[in-house]
Chains A and B, each alone.
Chain A
């Protein structure tokens, strides 16, 4: 029994945590942007994807993983800034379905552009470190532990930013009542842009971090956006706490259930979970009704 817990369950739980935290990184951007701007960004997965690709290309030129990550984050941030400033901002005020459709078209363009530039095959990225560590009595890949460590730090930083700094207060205020905030003299469009870019940067970082584990291919964004959406809805659109809780929950669920059922069935159960939650509590676990 203890062997089972040690050699099978614990690594699986760690996998789930790593995967869950990655989804949280993607979901954070998605949920904050929706809570703040009413924009459902279907192209958010593409930020994740482009982060991975930018990282890959940088690695070809400068074989330093951390530099590649930085370049990827900066690159995607610039792209997302351009998108927000020149495409979304002129179209504020339209209803969320409009943005869903718009970003759906955008995601298509970005995906195909990536395929055109980098090719449709799967690319491999080498992790910055190899080998494993002994943790909790189990031997676990060192890189994954690093990923876990990094993602937790990033999420904590985001939480601190939102809850303990002035900027965080401004962002939350913009989500609550942007007209009032504007009346008080704040540059609300700038707040929107900054928040959007932060969300994209987080996704890009997730893309780079996960590329050694899940590899890089054009529709990697599509594959994770659905899950990110589920996390965001289950947690509650606009709720950061919800996204974190739901992300970890779903990540663990997918990981542990894969011990006993096929991943496709596990995915199906996740959708069923989504449907049930939407029936019982339509605004998500932590969402505001």
Chain B
């Protein structure tokens, strides 16, 4: 059978596997799967910046954490509905990205990375010292209300099984949107900016605006993922804003494969699995992750999934 058919079949079988997965997994592993997917989407959002536009944001945890805190505020402090929480999370993170982007996008390369880091550190400290946001303990006890659709249909997400499906649907939607973005003219311009920014400006595109849009899309997905993450965990804490998380997501994106849509999810799986299991046998598993990172950066700049794709495509 030809390649097209092969790929489509592979895709469909993967989707089926994902749907069946939560039923065959035990509770503990289901939770890990949810975590992998959520962090994977977070990494995918970063990938939009890193892999497609070539912008290294070292402060992406700011959006992730902000999403979580907004959800916490809406559900815990103001008694709103889930949709309000999601909507507000999107609004706040996009607003943040416009503010930060306006200042940061003037700078290139390493300076951009440092400004985004600086902003995320400011946010971290604000959350740490603000009692309303829970201070250093963060917001605990975030409830999990039912998802209410127009027409009165309630979908309960209390169990990890049902939550998994919420996350899965979210993942599919995000993937579809990102696919559309990256395969659109907009996405192509972003890639061009990554390759040769000067020339793109010469052709007449407003590079700053493109970067801003990219930043905002990326922030939106990061924020929504953060909101759902906090919903899942039941708390929003300062660690979700810490630059170590930003670094971890960059690791995921790089190990998985920059510039591929699914790569970051593999990277997320890689890191979450090592963190969960290697930590049982080898207390200093971070050394393994660090070494893996160094190895990937040096030898596999396209990441594990990216190199695989390269290999797969060369088969022709």
Contact = CB atoms under 8 A, between A and B. Distances in A.
Interface of A: 40, 91, 95-98, 100-102, 104-109, 111-113, 115-116, 226, 229-230, 233, 237, 262, 264-265, 267-268, 271-272, 274-275, 278-279, 282
Contacts of B283: 116
Contact of A109 (B128, B254, B294): B294
Nearest to A116: B284
Contacts of A116: 283-284, 287
Contacts, number: 98
B119 interface: yes
B290 interface: yes
A274 B298 CA distance: 31
19 contacts: A95-B109, A96-B109, A96-B110, A97-B56, A97-B113, A98-B297, A101-B297, A104-B250, A105-B290, A106-B294, A109-B290, A112-B286, A116-B284, A233-B111, A237-B110, A264-B129, A268-B121, A275-B122, A278-B111
Contacts of A230: 118
Contact of B109 (A97, A112, A226, A262): A97
Given A101-B254, A106-B294, A282 B114 contact: no
A108 B128 contact: no
Contacts of B293: 101, 104-105, 108
Dominant secondary structure at the B interface: helix
Contacts of A115: 284
A108 B115 CA distance: 22
B297 A113 contact: no
Nearest to B254: A101
Contacts of A105: 251, 290-291, 293-294, 297
B30 interface: no
Interface of B: 56, 103, 106-107, 109-111, 113-115, 117-119, 121-122, 125-126, 128-129, 243, 247, 250-251, 254, 283-284, 286-287, 289-291, 293-294, 297-298
Contacts of B117: 226
A273 to B, nearest CB: 9
Given A95-B109, A96-B110, A278-B111, 14 more contacts: A97-B110, A104-B250, A107-B290, A109-B291, A111-B286, A116-B284, A264-B129, A268-B125, A274-B114, A275-B118, A275-B119, A278-B114, A278-B115, A282-B106
Given A96-B110, A271-B122, A282-B111, A108 B290 contact: yes
A108 to B, nearest CB: 3
A113 B284 CA distance: 8
Contacts of B298: 91, 102
Contact of A113 (B251, B254, B287): B287
Contacts of A107: 290
A100 B110 contact: yes
Residue with the highest number of chain B CB atoms closer than 10 Å, among A101, A230, A237: A101
Contacts of A95: 109
B52 to A, nearest CB: 15
Contacts of B113: 97, 100
B119 A108 contact: no
Contacts of B119: 271, 275
Given A100-B56, A272-B122, A275-B103, A40 B284 contact: no
Nearest to A102: B297
Contacts of A112: 284, 286-287, 290
Contacts of A279: 103, 106
Nearest to A115: B284
Given A108-B293, A112-B284, A226 B110 contact: no
B259 to A, nearest CB: 14
A-B residue pairs, 7 tightest by C-beta? A108-B290, A105-B293, A109-B290, A112-B286, A105-B294, A268-B125, A116-B284
Contacts of A268: 121-122, 125-126
B263 to A, nearest CB: 15
Nearest to B293: A105
Contacts of A229: 114
Contacts of B125: 264-265, 267-268, 271
B122 to A, nearest CB: 5
A262 B251 CA distance: 33
B294 A282 contact: no
A271 to B, nearest CB: 5
A265 B247 CA distance: 23
